[in-house]
Amino acid sequence: MQLTELHPYIYASVEQEMRLLAENGNGLETIALRLPYVVGLVPGHESAWKTYAKRLQRREFPLYVDQHNKATGGSCYMTAKQVGQALVGAANDEVAPKSYTLGWRNISNEAFLMKAKCALQSDIQIKTLTFREFQAVARKEAHEIELTGREAGFEPVAYTELLARALYVDPIEALDVLDYHTDNVEKAIQEVFTTL
C-alpha cells in the first residue's frame, strides 16, 4: 500500500524526513526520529488525547473485528519521558545521522480502548464493527469532509486498512543507539485519560 499517495499526513511526514536527511554533509549531521503514539502529561499544556477521549465518549471509536468476531489492529506506544530521553540520546556525537524508529510497548486496539475507557471511568459500550461496516462509516466520514471543503490528514476509507492491522514496532536499534529507558506506558495512559 502506497501510504504517501493516499494520506497527506503521511506524505508530509515522509517528505520532512527526506528533506531533513538530505541536509547531512558540510559539517551538519541530522537525525530523524519516527515516533509512535506518545502518552504522557506536559504541565501547562492540553493533552493531544483530548479529541480522542471526546470521540470515544461519543462512541465514535468502534472496535474492529474480523470474520471470527476477534478484535483486530494495534499500534506502538511510548511515554513522553522516553521521547525526551531519545532526544538527548540523538544529540550524542557518536549517533549515526539517519532515521530511527522509536517505540516501547505494542498494544492492541482493544486493550488501548479498554484502558482509556477505564481511566475515563465511563460506562460506554464499545461497539464492534466488521471491516465492511467500518468502511461504510469511513465512506460517510469522507463524504462529510468533502462537503465541508476540508482535506483529511488520513483518507478515511484507506485509513480503515491501517486501523485494522497490527502496526507493531521493534525499536531495538533505536533503544541500543539512543539509550532511552524503561517506562510504564500503561500508567501514562491511565494518567492522561484520568485528567481528561
Write the pLDDT tens digit of every residue in 142-160: 999 999 999 888 888 888 8
- What's the confidence (pLDDT) of residue 142? 92
Cite the DSSP H helix spans in 109-168: 109-119, 131-148, 156-163
Count of CA atoms in the C-beta half-sphere (13 A) of 23: 11
Lowest mean per-residue pLDDT among 116-120, 123-127, 161-165: 123-127
In sequence order, what are the beta bridge partners of 37? Answer: 77
- What's the confidence (pLDDT) of residue 86? 98
Q: Of 107, 101, 49, whose CA–CA distance to 76 is shortest? A: 107
Q: 157: how many CB neighbours lie within 10 A of its CB?
A: 18
Report which of residues 138 and 63 the model is more confident about: 138
CB 109 within 8 A of CB 187: no
Topology classification of domain 3-194: Rossmann fold (3.40.50)
Write the pLDDT tens digit of every residue in 36-64: 999 999 888 889 899 888 888 877 777 88
0.85 exceeded by pTM:
yes
- What's the confidence (pLDDT) of residue 87? 97
Q: Of 114, 111, 131, 137, whose CA–CA distance to 66 is shortest? A: 131
Q: Say if residue 102's pLDDT is above 90.
A: yes
Mean pLDDT of the chain: 91
Task: Please state the domain extents for the chain.
Answer: 3-194
In sequence order, what are the beta bridge partners of 74? Answer: 108, 166
Indicate the helix (H) or strand (E) that contains 78: strand 74-79
In sequence order, what are the beta bridge partners of 63? Answer: 128
